[in-house]
Chains A and B, each alone.
Chain A
Amino acid sequence: MFRRSESCSTVSIILPPEMMLRVAELLSRRDGATGLLWRARGTIVHEHWLKAWLPPISPSKSMLQLIIPDSEVAPFVREVVELTNLDHQALGAVFSVRSERAFFGPDFPQWPTRAEALNASPPPALKENLHALHCVVSHKLIDRVCKAAIDAGAHGPIVAFAEGRGLRDRLGWLRITKEHEKEVATVLCDDDARDAVFSAIADAGNLHLPGRGFLYDSVVERGLFNLPSRAAPRHHDASLQQIVAAIDKLQGHTHWRDHSIVPVGSQGQAVGLERATRATSELTQYRLAATVLSEQAPALIDLLLDSGAPGLTLSRARLVGADDDAFYGETHLARECTMIQVIATEAVVAALAAAVEDYGEQQGITHLCVALTPVTQVVTYQPGRINYRRAR
């Protein structure tokens, strides 16, 4: 009953909302093309003293995620980039992450594959050495995390809302004491800057402590981004080369440049990385993302928690695409989907995926999509690894 696929990619598009309308229109013109749409915000660090003191107003963004067969990724991304001018001036990003396995319910719309192969080459501006870091923390921590990422050289992270589940559901009525609102920051970075950004985020969020949050990294197949991180007054606007030269002069040497580019996992350990690596899991981890209609989500959440998921991240998105129900003329009734994400070791994720598949067939949950993506590095509190109370 379920359709399987071993060659799928998740394409994420981040754009200003008014720009995203064009992409949504593109989708609605093509039968079967659907995506999940989130609202999100960008992050800009203000350096003017008055604006730095005021609470920030961040640029609003939309985030669209689509699951596309590998063969269709390049033409579609090319189409989006050309439509939105992403490689020239639009502020946004597009990137694709390859999933290892995916299966779809019979009602989940199938991406239309075209008979004739279009110009299959990806647009020239795409880079192939990118990483996507996702950090799930509570909203009290998110500003610190974003600031740390920017200070470590990343672009302004894109932040969207999510809901955390897991421990909360095992507490009975006491669960009211645990706020489930979380925020997810998405950061794209080149692989030479990745380690610095990764450890900066892990340290800023103290993610090795219990109940703090989650950080994981997945390898981007191809992508491009153009997202500002800082708004500085004119007279601070020095070029990167000028800044580097100034620091060289102040330090009197160029050793300082080495600190941030030390690879993790090998013999070398850079400053500030020690804690992050200790909490990092060595086992291969997978990310399972199950997408269902929101009204069917509660049952699936219970199922996943019962089958041994350590914790869930839920995010609600609007389904956009051709199968919107029209309602009262111009007005659309959008369908809302919930994306449930679990990150766990390969064995656990495989068991969960099997459970979801069984459950979906038994209960007739037909609008379902499950994708498994390998995750290269994870930072979170791991119970039993170190007793954090005694260690202090």
Chain B
Amino acid sequence: MDSARLRLGPRDTFRILWPYTRGKFTEQLSSIWFIVAYLTAFQLFVLGLPIVHAGMIAAGILVVAVGLMFFMEGLRLGLMPLGEIIGRTLPERSRLPTILGFAFLLGIGATFAEPAIAVLKAAGSGVQPAEAPLLYSLLNEFSQELVGSVGVGVGLAVLLGVLRFFFDWPLKWLALPSVSIVLVLSVVYAQSPALNDVLGLAWDCGAVTTGPVTVPLVLALGIGVCRVVTNSPGGTSSGFGIVTLASLFPILAVLLLAGYHFQAQDFYGAPNYAGRTIAPAAQAQPGRSAVAVTEHGFSKTDFDRFRATGELPKGATLSVSGGDAQLVDGRIVVTQPEITIGKRLRDAAPWVTGNSWDSRLSIADSLRSAGLDALRAIVPLCVFLLLVLYGLLRTRLDQATDVAVGLGFALVGMALFSLGIALGLTPLGGQLVGNVPLAFAAGTPWGLTATTGPLFDPDSGKLVAIAFAFFLGYGATLAEPALNALGDTVERITVGAFRKRLLMQSVAFGVGLGIAAGIIKMAYGLPLLTLLLPAYGVVLVLTLLAPSNFVNFSWDSAGVTTGPITVPLVLAMGLGIGGSLPSVSDGFGILALASVGPILSVLTVGLYTNRSVRREAQEASGGSAYLTTERS
């Protein structure tokens, strides 16, 4: 092959590289432009607030696009071929126990590598031990056990998923019982206050474990296994389903862990608690400071002046309650009223800072931590896979340089991608989702000093927030790399019968619906289960009706939706809205709803199109004129 190799000068090299780079870059831009444009437009035009640190955000978004470009190429060239070749050779070269052992280890390894697990732990740091003792203990003293049990859950899921390919168990009969068990456990847990707090965390753990590295790898493994394993001569199996199980089993694992500690009574405040009980006041409350209402009252000096002079301070509002009101000579006279004097919130919100760059964020530090995350997410997994490939299977890679370049790309891409998210998307999303509660509650806009009142009246304000959440979910999902990979896989496995664009649009729509439902839950203080149970009920019915190939990838799309772009935005929004509403203790649970949404939407699309394709085929073969002429 090398003998025929062309000799290329630098100019030709550039002429080959340039269209390639440009094409890939615009491809990624087209996947993120919607969320960026949408967030910007919402902040500027609907909320009427300026964007703080605009320069940094713009640079960050550019970096995200570059990072995604490298990462997706890395998946295409490196990670997915690696997973596929292992999946293909494993059944030929080794026995079932070895394969299952490999699958289990891969699941555990992938979980420890997943960066989003760390996000979840950070999000839980605001939990008040007195309010949710078991949740607090799980996230702090037992956090190792928590990650461990999630890992075992994912490991078992990959194991069962691979076993499913060998014995051709329909995914329905694995997924439906698991979901039922999880739902029943959730209902039982909801009865006890301590266990009830854990529900949101457990459901979100399931959503979070399936990230941008795990999903493509596991999908590729499935494709590989299904290239050789069949259940009947000429039959085909699909290669999906592992992702589904990998998002259900961790829920079960966390629920069981919580149940164990509840039985043992060794969580915070319980009789067998081993740690030190901290006074509630000592607990910091990070995450809520961004939207805390800071200047809504009069100071001591205002009060003293009022008592001395009886003069109302400037910008005061009066409200009267109680007493006996009568209309006398065109005046309202109230006897023995209770009068409250409040301070009117100022409308104009001056800039706190004109800087276009957040000085607290240093590029070097962000780059280092992003690089470390990427190393941790990719290197151990790849080392494991290469060891299996060369040590256990003794196979040679057909195009080893491609895979090597691909793995390098994936590493660089992952690092740049997380850097870009830290610089661009998180600050932009953070300010915005912090500001969304202003639509229906008073507060200080993110990064500004003054307080601004509710922009809309409470009901329509909540509607604005819900609509915002829908499009946020929709846009963020379209930019998710794992969903891109799933779309490619679905298109490949169905040989283009189900298009990537259709899958991505319906999944994004479903996630939007799910997140909007999550905001409804928070805004109106509904318990999580009142929304989850009916949604899963509909899903169960649709699953029983739908043909199995649609079932497989619609359930899988539920697992992939919650990745590095969606999770921070959604958790920040949960905390933001949770902080401005007294009835909500934490922002967990939205992700769980965001996972049901796409199952619903993809199954619906699948059922609809399946029916219409079949009907059209029948019609076409029945009485159509052109066919009879064709066959003459």
Chain A residues in contact with chain B, CB under 8 A? 17, 20-21, 23-25, 27-28, 37, 39-41, 44, 51, 54-60, 62, 64, 89, 91, 125, 127, 139, 142, 155, 159-161, 169-177, 183, 190, 224-226, 228-231, 237-241, 298, 302, 305-306, 316, 318, 320-321, 324, 327-336
Contacts and interface: CB of A to CB of B under 8 A. Distances in A.
Interface in B492-540: 492-499, 501-502, 505
B620 A231 contact: yes
A91 B617 contact: yes
A170 B495 contact: no
Nearest to A188: B630
B631 A224 contact: yes
Contact of A318 (B5, B230, B493): B230
Contact of B235 (A21, A159, A336): A21
A39 B398 contact: no
A24 B612 CA distance: 28
Contacts, number: 176
A63 B395 CA distance: 30
Interface residues of B, number: 62
Contacts of B13: 174
B497 A170 contact: no
B1 A330 contact: no
B5 A57 contact: no
A177 B612 CA distance: 39
Contacts of A321: 233
Given A44-B613, A58-B496, A328-B96, 16 more contacts: A28-B234, A41-B496, A57-B502, A60-B494, A64-B234, A91-B620, A161-B496, A170-B1, A170-B4, A176-B77, A229-B626, A239-B625, A240-B626, A298-B398, A328-B166, A334-B230
A332 B17 contact: no
B73 A125 contact: no
B344 interface: no
Nearest to A17: B236
Contact of A24 (B4, B228, B234, B625): B234
A177 B233 contact: no
Contacts of A183: 496
Contact of B227 (A177, A229, A237, A336): A336
Contacts of A239: 625
B4 A23 contact: no
Contact of B497 (A20, A59, A226): A59
User: Closest 5 interchain pairs by CB?
Assistant: A24-B234, A228-B620, A177-B20, A239-B625, A231-B616
Interface string B178-213: 000000000000000000000000000000000000
Given A60-B497, A171-B6, A330 B631 contact: no
B620 A331 contact: no
A321 B502 CA distance: 36
Contacts of A27: 233-234
B495 A60 contact: yes
B272 interface: no
Contact of B229 (A62, A161, A175, A331): A331
B231 interface: yes
A336 B5 contact: no
Nearest to B606: A57
A175 B1 contact: no
A314 B630 CA distance: 31
B17 A174 contact: yes
A28 B233 contact: yes
A332 B232 contact: yes
Residue of B91, B228, B612 ringed by the most chain A CB atoms within 10 A: B228
B402 interface: yes
A176 B16 CA distance: 10
Contacts of B626: 229-230, 240
B4 A306 contact: yes
B284 to A, nearest CB: 49
A139 B629 CA distance: 31
B495 A228 contact: no
Contacts of B630: 155, 190, 225-226
A330 B616 contact: no
Contact of B228 (A169, A237, A329, A334): A334
